[in-house]
Amino acid sequence: MQHEIATQKHEIKQVEQTTCCIVGGGPGGAMLALLLARKGVAVTLLEAHMDFEREFRGDSIHPSVLNILDELGLVDRLLQLQHTEVRKFRFQTVGGEMTLANIDELKLKYPFIALLPQSKFLEFVTTEAKSYPGFHLVMGAQVDELIEENGKVCGVRYRGADGWYEVRAILTVGADGRFSRLRRLAGFEPVASSVPMDVLWFRLPQHLSDGQESGGHIGNGHIAIMLNRFEYWQIGYVIPKGGYQEIRAAGLPALRQTIAELLPLMADRVDYLQEWKQISVLSVESNRLLQWYRPGLLLIGDAAHTMSPVAGVGINYAIQDAVVAANILGDKLKHGSVQLKDLARVQRQRELPTRIIQAFQSFLQNTILTNALSSDKLLTIPPLVRLMLSTPVIRTVPARLMALGPWPAHVK
């Protein structure tokens, strides 16, 4: 394995010693920090940005995460924050309506996906973590180097506002997302699966007379989803992989027209889109690491397995990784020693669920999305999918996979 081994070339302003150093204050990192701090483990969470605000970074809190928050006694307070709920995922196609997932049918304690800004969720989790004395959050900490000694990772160096800092730890966790710096520094190369699409995200105004239900629309070679976000609709417009430049070259009026045809409800307000900067492009990727750990280092969440947005499960899976990691490693960290086999256990428990959901996403991509994007004819739902969606027990499988995953994690 090729590693970028850090050389001590900076003047270090301060060296901090902790038990677990987590890089990345996204859902995976923030939740792991909370769970470890709650167990009495000293934990330092390093986040590159100065705040949690980001436009369209994924705002869905799935039933499995609501269950986890329930186990922590936090769910009622979280659900007091302004949110909307998605209970069914229905697609309108030119050939009729298709319910891809009906979470209501599953008889869960929280039978819905809560949509709330991820920034609010992360503020909520880190505020809770701050009530534990061992928790230390550093915002504006851009981690750039791993510290390695005798073949073991024993911390990181980061750039803060006024210089370089060092955090030394028994365990370093890379929860730094799909472009993980730690993954690269550690010499890990993810295995990528092919993905047929990218997604353009933008907002359109919501009117009082609009219905409340989130859903999707497929027709004439285009796909869009509409998510109810209270004051506005969050629109995800799915395009063929790498197709953004072509759409941009065709101009905003052409995009507005396509959206108006695909989503007739939005036809009276597509003029709200006046500048390309109102549109965020998500270059969709799906990949996974063959090994999530090295001595002293564990990767979780998107850093270990970047998720396609199909079924919107990235946050769900990052948080379940955090729960399993805290269950397995919490007590070991408290006693000051984590062995390679403990890190391997985290990967073993989380790898299969991740592979199953990625296979499910590929199945939907290859059977429905590729077909829908490449054809201006009526979308024909493949017979296998039609059979699945109409067979009583089997039709709950997509909803269950989306809502909970194959083996939902529980807080020990």
Ligand X SMILES: Cc1cc2nc3c(=O)[nH]c(=O)nc-3n(C[C@H](O)[C@H](O)[C@H](O)COP(=O)(O)OP(=O)(O)OC[C@H]3O[C@@H](n4cnc5c(N)ncnc54)[C@H](O)[C@@H]3O)c2cc1C
**Which residues are at the interface with ligand X (CB under 6 A)?**
23-29, 46-49, 56-60, 141-143, 175-178, 181, 201, 280, 282, 301-303, 307, 309, 312-316, 318
Q: How far is the CB of 235 from ligand X (least distance, A)?
A: 12
Residue 362 beta carbon to ligand X: minimum distance, rounded to whole angstroms:
16
Measured distance CA(266)–CA(311) in Å, rounded: 23
Query: CB 378 → ligand X: shortest distance, Å?
Result: 28
Length of the chain: 412
Q: Residue 145 or 342: which CB sits closer to ligand X?
A: 145
CA angle 240, 217, 377 (to 5 degrees): 65
Closer of 301 and 330 to ligand X (Cβ): 301
Residues 203, 196: contact at Cβ < 8 Å? no
Cβ closest to ligand X, residue 267 vs residue 281: 281
Whether the CB-CB separation of 272 and 250 falls below 8 Å is answered with: no
User: Minimal distance in Å, beta carbon 392 to ligand X?
Assistant: 28
- Judged by beta carbon, residue 46 or residue 197, the one nearer ligand X is 46
Of 49 and 412, CB closest to ligand X: 49
| Least distance to ligand X, CB of residue 169, Å | 14
Q: Minimal distance in Å, beta carbon 158 to ligand X?
A: 6
Closest CB to ligand X among residues 301, 408: 301
> Considering beta carbons, is residue 20 or 175 the nearer one to ligand X?
175
Residue 24 Cβ vs ligand X, minimum distance, rounded to whole Å: 3
The token pair at 58 is 């994924």
* Exposed / middle / buried, residue 270 (Cβ in 10 Å: 0-12, 13-18, 19+): buried
CA max distance for the chain:
65
The residues with which 174 forms a beta bridge, in sequence order, are 23, 299
